[in-house]
Structure 1
């Protein structure tokens, strides 16, 4: 199957990694770089506080990434890439200190990195929730959205949907269970 250039932007990370590793598709790596190059550079800049050093380190990280992708199975690409970025920056800071002091004071930079990691995890959880919600049947999806997102009571949902009270409770309970299963499946796939 011929892949259009516009398709690459739509591919999730795991598909791009798969295409690079298994199909030797270098275009996939170009899109990974396009997607994450600025993020890696930003993290490097926060740690190294030097644009040239951050640019060089970003290139080193992506070169290392190409080798690692062929050697290891990466489940959650984005968090893995950020961890590699952080560790590479820390190693550079340690070597810059020439071992005089094995501890590196990061202060606000460490907070920035932790905040960024938390934001990425939240974003992934939200994406998984949205994907799982879209996969529910309409009755469950409607009741879950009205109850949790719109904060309606059971009685208000009954009025709005014309389901019985028992149906509303059942749709919410079954919807929650199905959401949990679908989210766990998505997390296992690394999406």
Structure 2
């Protein structure tokens, strides 16, 4: 397909004009024109993370579908950078979803090292049970925020909307909850 080849470098000024035009008209052809300029970038990001050509091509199309939904929800100051982050996050979610179909380790969920013997399924189950015990020791706000953010894969803003907490409170609950979980898990591991 021709959209995987490098074209001329997109102009940020043109991006703003096309984005404004799309927001006013809602015309998907305009958004498509804007996105088409960045398809090589999006494909490159997908290939870097997914490491599979066919899966990356599919992801480029799925990211456009996600773009249609998210572009009106967010204030986009620089389209290229925003699209890069959207693409990267999409790929990370894909990888996370793929891992969930395999074995789920505490390290995958919480993004910090705590796997006793990742090859031993009974130890993996023990790690998950320990994580659940430590989750119960968190404040209700931390529990809810961490569950929505890490397990249900909501973004900060979605967690804030679902819980009624401010964005800063959500960030604080997640950061402190993650730290408290790490302390709890490490202290139990040393026993």
- Greater RCO, 1 or 2 (C-alpha within 8 Å, sep 6+): 1
With the shorter chain as reference, the TM-score category is 0.3 to 0.5
Q: Give the helix-richer structure, 1 or 2.
A: 1
State the TM-score, normalizing by the size of structure 2: 0.46
Higher gyration radius (CA):
1
TM-score for the superposition, normalised by structure 1: 0.46
